[in-house]
Structure 1
Amino acid sequence: MKKLLLLFVLFVGVGVLSLSAQTRVITGTVTPADESAGEMIGVSVYVKGTTIGTITDINGDYSLPNVPNDATTLVFSFIGMKTQEVEIGGRSVVNCVLESEAIGLEEVVVSAFGIQREKREITYQTQKIGSDDLAVAQPTRATSALAGKVAGLQINVQDHGVNPNTQIVLRGFRSITSGNQALVVIDGAISSIAAFDDLNPNDIADVNVLKGATAAALYGSKAGNGAIIVSTKRGEAGQKFTIGVNSSYMSEKVAYMPKFQSEYGVGWEGQYIPYENCNWGPRFDGLIRQIGPTFEDGTYQEVPYAPVANNLRDFYDVGHNLSNTVYMSGSGQGSSFYLSIGQQGNKGIVPKDVYSRNTFRVNATKKIGDVELAVNSSFFTDKTDVVGDALGTQDRPLYWFILNTPNNIPLSNYRDWENDLYSSPNGYYNAYYENPYVMIDQARNQDRTSRLNANVSLSWDISDWLNFTGRASVNNVWGDGENWREAFEYDPVLKSSMSDITSFLDTFEFQQSAYTTDFMLTGNFSYGDFTLKSILGTSTYSFDLRQTTISVNNLSIPDFWDISNGTGTPTITPDARTERNLGVFGDFTFGYNNYLFLTFTGRNDWTSTLA
């Protein structure tokens, strides 16, 4: 028994010696070719053909235990750096110098489908705006950040309220019947101007503007007016874990109003009429005169018959906008990430108009051998509460009531209409148009919107000269809201020329979804002084819209805003639209001696639409 035990111990000992003799430890240091890049932290180091691997520490050092004696090659990889394969050659210390994959920020543009090209290879006009240029004035909207930064690009703000609508036009208005707006592409996926405007400006890394149909031919007819290629931020190669905060505050006020004459006051055809809305009365004389009706007790309102400086402009408040963003970013073993949370609150120049929005973004990449996976996602939600646009007995917008105020009326004095007789609906001086402060409280337009914009992509380097990229994206937006107006019955003596205001309620909801997929093969070939860069791909686009508006009039119970409270039959207005698109495309760029280039681009689409 003792002999058998001794034999077993000897056998195990020999086995251990044999095993230890078959492996070894390899150490080394990874450094960047550009010394200003700092330490190479988190570089992936593994033995080619095995699962044995590690990452570099904060000093760029690594240690690989249990490396087989027959191992021949170590692979070093890091995001943003060229992957290096280094022969071991019997060494126990193997160092590596990694070179950047970037060609140079000022020489690279992001073209169609997120493909990077040297600027000298591009045969059309482009312009790039970096994040520093976009954030110079700390804009609250992504579209406003582009204003004045791109030649030939027009940013048309169609509504200067707390939640403005924006139009992006490249190369001017070219069509009366068709759209003139540029196509928006976010992180390689076709999106929309609304989705771009919903982005947190602090999340944008850069914007490349492709001018003209030729520039964006790979996207088809949708890009006939050019394309805005947006790239959002990711963790940078070699970046340590970073956390930061961006805050900005902006105030705004009305700079000026339309210029009116200031010699004549309230009245008509030269006659003084105390309840008129026009400045066609007699010349100002500075005397105290009655305005508005005479009340049952014989009293009435009096003001000096003289112009009031800025009487219309003083109706508006000073607007306030506060934005805050908290972000985190970093990189590790073949991976990177960027995360941000943003909040914006906006109090408008129109009294009681408010807007708030929240944004959440997560971007991440992971490189596994020759394959890189990426996720770019953002979620947005907002709330808007503004004055309605069908006010008073004539269904006018708010601005109409302000303009129909004679210049001897101190308009800002009529704010407290619930407690001041002269500001109340029956006591207001104007016999034809209501007090705008009353209209602000008696008609509101409120809505809530959410948006999910995300894409996932896979990039596979099949060989040194061939790459396959697949991408799937979603741009979904949904929301609901209500537009309502209170009823009011006027005193037939004090307001004999006014009709009663009727109440109404419009409720609406909508769901819009857009899905895209792209699959591409890109090749880079060279022969002597000649090069060929090619793209072959296919894309699909699926769009669905469904929205419904339900309207009722003459609500039975005041201040109860529900469809069931209306009288009569509700009016239901549904709408739906569906579009499907399949496209194939190709792009071939021939180069000679890195300075002469010739490009051929083509695309064919099959489209089906149901509206």
Structure 2
Amino acid sequence: AALYGSRAGNGVVLITTKSGRGDQGLGITFSSSNVFEVPYRYVDFHYKYANGDRPDHYNEGSAYWGGLPLDQGNKAPHFMSPLDENGNKIPIELKSYPDNAKNFLETGITSVNNLTVAGSRGFGTYRVSYDMMRHNGMIPNSDLKRDAISSVAEFNVGQTIKLRTNLNFLRSSSPNRPATGRGANPLYALYNWSAVDVRDMREIWLPGQEQIAQRRPGTGEDNPYFLAYELTNAFTRDHAYGNVEAEWTPLQNLVLLGRVAHDVFNENQETKVPWSYSRASKGGYYLDDFVNQETNMEFRASYRLFPGDFDISLTAGTSGMHQQGKSQYMGGAELTIPGLYRISNIPTGNRQTTNNTYEKRIYSVFGLASIGFDDKLYLDVTARNDWSSTLPANDRSYFYPSASLSWLVNNTVKLPTAFSLFKLRGGVAQVGNDTGPYQLYNALGTGNWGDLITINIDQNLRNPILKPEIATSYEGGIDLNLFKNRLRFEGTYFYVENKNQILNVNVSPSSGYVTAKT
């Protein structure tokens, strides 16, 4: 926790990226893989009777069972019926189409290609990699693309200075991510009727009524191709992250390290709802954009004393974290002109706009001391103090130390040869934590009610006297390896005590709020 702060309260996962080649020279690697996807099993469904309210007639718009039996020569007006001279549907034979799902779904294909260039020279090592993923989904128009570029390099500047960089950029995009559940889910629409061949639904719009009226399999039902190609949820997501660090060794046992890391995440979402959708007859258009970024800066100095049987390593440092974010939502129901997806094409009274921003800073100082004695006893002591912008001015500073001791019994006491490792360990540690931005005071918000702008109060009551959370954990354990590490046993007992937890609790609605922060 001393190095990583409150975000290490539940542990730390360290990810080590690949570096350049250790040998002199240049290496180029290319790999490619393709995966084909088909449904393992289709949903069992009813294909015996046509849709209908009663057993003596066929109602193409009904979702209730009880229509005429299928595949027995019965005739009724149908979705594909030709018209007579008066424009009325001519009854045709009612058939079942048990392969509708198979005919609608496509073979999914996922292709992944990677090109890597890595090398080593006298001045350092480097590695550059490009990954390309293309996924064609089983549901029509559900493709997904992802491109990623990463680079890792280490340069030696003289004998005492090393420069390292780790830069990454990732872009993901899709013209449509299919909805789940009911409503806009093409698969839900697919199973809503049994006497219509889904292949006859590929023409989405009625002739002469493009972008106005869809070709429905029945009254009030949606064409699954209409849902797949016209009611879309597109997105583009960019993620750039990396760090640059410099390491200087001015003395044999002294190392100075400075690091700057930056992470920015940007996503644009676009939802198009066309005219003729069963749940929104005049459609709608919605845009959602948000950007989150975080910058971390750190400097630390490490010094090693008395290397040998009695070893002491000391580290002290300071760090700063700055988070920023903003989001913007625009949209509304009812397109004035069908098929024109612009915010200006939404009636003024239906438009909704929301803007949000947040900012947070944490400044820290920390120290670590590791003491080892004769490869038998190890003592680690840490301490950290954070100052958070999200807490009240009088309580934004919080300190949390830790200490742990381990004893290698097998290096201290002569044990039977079956013991490869016998270690006893124990420790106590504290981790501090703050809260999110703007949790101290309530603020007024705005909304829309028709053409009127409304003022509203958040239903969560803020708390201006919050204190930092402190979690204290106690741990004891044993590590036992036997028979040249062929048999291993680890046992741990731990106890955690939390103080000043920041929570939302339910309160009486008569207070004007739903929850209160404590």
Does 1:247 find its partner at 2:32? yes
The structural deviation recorded for 1:273 is 4.8
Aligned-partner residue type, residue 317 of structure 1: E
Aligned match of 2:18: 233
Q: What SS class does the counterpart of residue 66 from structure 2 fall into?
A: coil
Aligned match of 1:297: 88
Q: Cα 1:323–1:528, aligned 2, differ >3 Å: closer, same or farther?
A: closer
2:167 is matched with which residue: 356, 377, 381? 377
Q: What SS class does the counterpart of residue 251 from structure 2 fall into?
A: coil
Does 1:330 find its partner at 2:119? yes
- Say if 2:368 and 2:381, in contact at 8 Å, map to a contact too: yes
Does 1:439 find its partner at 2:227? yes
Note the alpha carbon deviations across 1:212-254, whole angstroms, 9 max, x for none. Answer: xxxx663222233333322222212323111222222222233
Does 1:343 find its partner at 2:128? no
Aligned-partner residue type, residue 589 of structure 1: S
- Say if 1:425 and 1:435, in contact at 8 Å, map to a contact too: no
Q: What SS class does the counterpart of residue 230 from structure 1 fall into?
A: coil
The structural deviation recorded for 1:374 is 0.8
The structural deviation recorded for 1:500 is 6.6
- Say if 1:552 and 1:568, in contact at 8 Å, map to a contact too: no
Q: Cα 1:277–1:463, aligned 2, differ >3 Å: closer, same or farther?
A: farther
Separation in 2, partners of 1:553, 1:353: 24
Q: Cα 1:558–1:279, aligned 2, differ >3 Å: closer, same or farther?
A: closer
Aligned length: 381
Note the alpha carbon deviations across 1:502-557, whole angstroms, 9 max, x for none. Answer: 12111233322210012222333446533334433222111111111111433233
Aligned-partner residue type, residue 478 of structure 1: N
Separation in 2, partners of 1:399, 1:588: 60
- Say if 1:480 and 1:510, in contact at 8 Å, map to a contact too: yes
The structural deviation recorded for 1:581 is 1.2
Q: TM-score, normalised by structure 1?
A: 0.55
Aligned-partner residue type, residue 434 of structure 1: D
- Say if 1:334 and 1:367, in contact at 8 Å, map to a contact too: yes
Q: Which has the larger radius of gyration?
A: 1
1:318 is matched with which residue: 98, 101, 107? 107
Higher mean Cα deviation, 311-320 or 431-440?
Answer: 311-320
Aligned-partner residue type, residue 346 of structure 1: H
Aligned match of 1:588: 369
The structural deviation recorded for 1:399 is 4.1
Aligned-partner residue type, residue 385 of structure 1: P
Separation in 1, partners of 2:290, 2:388: 24
Uncovered stretches (5+) of structure 1, i.e. residues with no partner = 1-215, 490-497
Separation in 2, partners of 1:438, 1:480: 23
Separation in 2, partners of 1:412, 1:288: 21
Matches within 5 A, 1:13-24: none
Q: Cα 1:436–1:515, aligned 2, differ >3 Å: closer, same or farther?
A: same
Q: What SS class does the counterpart of residue 226 from structure 2 fall into?
A: helix
Aligned match of 2:387: 606
Separation in 2, partners of 1:597, 1:315: 65
Separation in 1, partners of 2:184, 2:207: 24
- Say if 1:268 and 1:276, in contact at 8 Å, map to a contact too: no
Q: TM-score, normalised by structure 2?
A: 0.64
Separation in 2, partners of 1:437, 1:560: 19
Does 1:507 find its partner at 2:287? yes
Aligned-partner residue type, residue 326 of structure 2: R
Matches within 5 A, 1:19-34: none
Aligned-partner residue type, residue 444 of structure 1: T
Q: Cα 1:371–1:420, aligned 2, differ >3 Å: closer, same or farther?
A: same
- Say if 2:201 and 2:215, in contact at 8 Å, map to a contact too: no
- Say if 2:266 and 2:292, in contact at 8 Å, map to a contact too: yes
Q: What SS class does the counterpart of residue 340 from structure 2 fall into?
A: coil
Give percent identity, aligned residues only.
21
Separation in 1, partners of 2:220, 2:155: 67
Q: Cα 1:436–1:241, aligned 2, differ >3 Å: closer, same or farther?
A: same
2:257 is matched with which residue: 452, 469, 473? 469
User: Which structure shows the higher helix fraction?
Assistant: 1
Aligned match of 1:415: 202
Q: What SS class does the counterpart of residue 15 from structure 2 fall into?
A: strand
The structural deviation recorded for 1:568 is 1.9
Aligned match of 1:173: none
The structural deviation recorded for 1:382 is 3.2
- Say if 2:292 and 2:323, in contact at 8 Å, map to a contact too: yes
Q: Cα 1:403–1:526, aligned 2, differ >3 Å: closer, same or farther?
A: farther
Aligned match of 1:486: 274
Aligned match of 2:311: 531
- Say if 2:214 and 2:276, in contact at 8 Å, map to a contact too: no
- Say if 2:146 and 2:171, in contact at 8 Å, map to a contact too: yes
Separation in 2, partners of 1:481, 1:245: 33
- Say if 2:176 and 2:232, in contact at 8 Å, map to a contact too: yes
Q: Cα 1:259–1:586, aligned 2, differ >3 Å: closer, same or farther?
A: farther
Q: Cα 1:511–1:551, aligned 2, differ >3 Å: closer, same or farther?
A: same
- Say if 1:337 and 1:364, in contact at 8 Å, map to a contact too: yes
Separation in 1, partners of 2:270, 2:229: 15
Aligned match of 2:66: 281
- Say if 2:77 and 2:90, in contact at 8 Å, map to a contact too: no
Q: Cα 1:500–1:334, aligned 2, differ >3 Å: closer, same or farther?
A: closer
Aligned match of 1:597: 378
The structural deviation recorded for 1:416 is 3.5
Q: Cα 1:488–1:332, aligned 2, differ >3 Å: closer, same or farther?
A: same
Aligned match of 2:6: 221
Aligned-partner residue type, residue 417 of structure 1: I
Aligned-partner residue type, residue 584 of structure 1: V
Aligned-partner residue type, residue 386 of structure 1: N
- Say if 1:525 and 1:533, in contact at 8 Å, map to a contact too: yes
Aligned match of 1:429: 217
Q: What SS class does the counterpart of residue 25 from structure 2 fall into?
A: coil
Q: What SS class does the counterpart of residue 222 from structure 1 fall into?
A: helix
The structural deviation recorded for 1:436 is 1.1
Separation in 2, partners of 1:356, 1:413: 30
Does 1:564 find its partner at 2:352? no
The structural deviation recorded for 1:457 is 0.1
